[in-house]
Amino acid sequence: MDSGAVNLSFAIASASDVAALLSLHRSVAEDLTHRFGQGPWSPPATYNEKPLRYDLSRSKFVRILMARDRHGIAGSLRLQTKKPWSIDTDYFSPVRRPLYLTGMAVHPRLQEKGIGRRLLAEAEAMARAWPRDAIRLDTFDADAGAGGFYRRCGYREVGRVSYRGVPHVYFEFLL
């Protein structure tokens, strides 16, 4: 479908977006579990808003980018300066100021409409303005993972690892 088919606006999340962001991530996790079975992508028994509120209070280090359509939050992703626990930097190109992309989600009713691609384009522009040298990420090395999506968006696969028994694929985008 044409990526222009969904009218979107982009914004950095604030404390007033917490409930909607938690609902988005719950919907995505439930959809992945329904389609691919139980796995590390499956929703926890409860979603805790405390870590999300903490991230929102640290705008110097973390930014949560949202895409909104006329119904609400269509998708989101988190960019952060701190390396996530599941990333081994030895696999990535050496850069001075990387950003780490985590928690990308597009509402199940809007997937395959170009929203994820548009979120990444906004994230790349944001990273350049921050300024940062690269975007690094990992995804599950499974049918429920987004490796094919990141490849199609120009991200380069740089490694495959198992972290705590869960296979991951690393990707980077140099700016």
Give the CA distances from residue 7 to residues 67, 153, 160, in Å, rounded to whole numbers and listed in that order: 10, 20, 36
Question: What distance in Å separates the CA atoms of residue 30 and residue 122, rounded to the nearest whole number?
Answer: 26
Task: Count other C-beta atoms under 10 Å from residue 25's C-beta.
Answer: 18
Instruction: Give average pLDDT by consecutive 10-residue segment, the chain, 175 residues.
Output: 70 94 92 90 73 83 95 96 94 98 95 95 96 97 94 98 93 98
Query: What predicted TM-score, i.e. pTM, was given to this entire model?
Result: 0.90
Helices 18-36 and 49-56: angle between axes, nearest 10 degrees: 130
Quote the pLDDT of residue 59. 79
- Asked if residues 28 and 21 have their Cβ atoms less than 8 Å apart, the reply is no
Instruction: Tell me whether strands 166-174 and 9-12 are parallel, antiparallel or unpaired.
Output: unpaired
Give all domains of the chain, ordered by start, each with its CATH number: 3-132 (3.40.630.30)
Quote the pLDDT of residue 2. 46
Quote the pLDDT of residue 45. 55
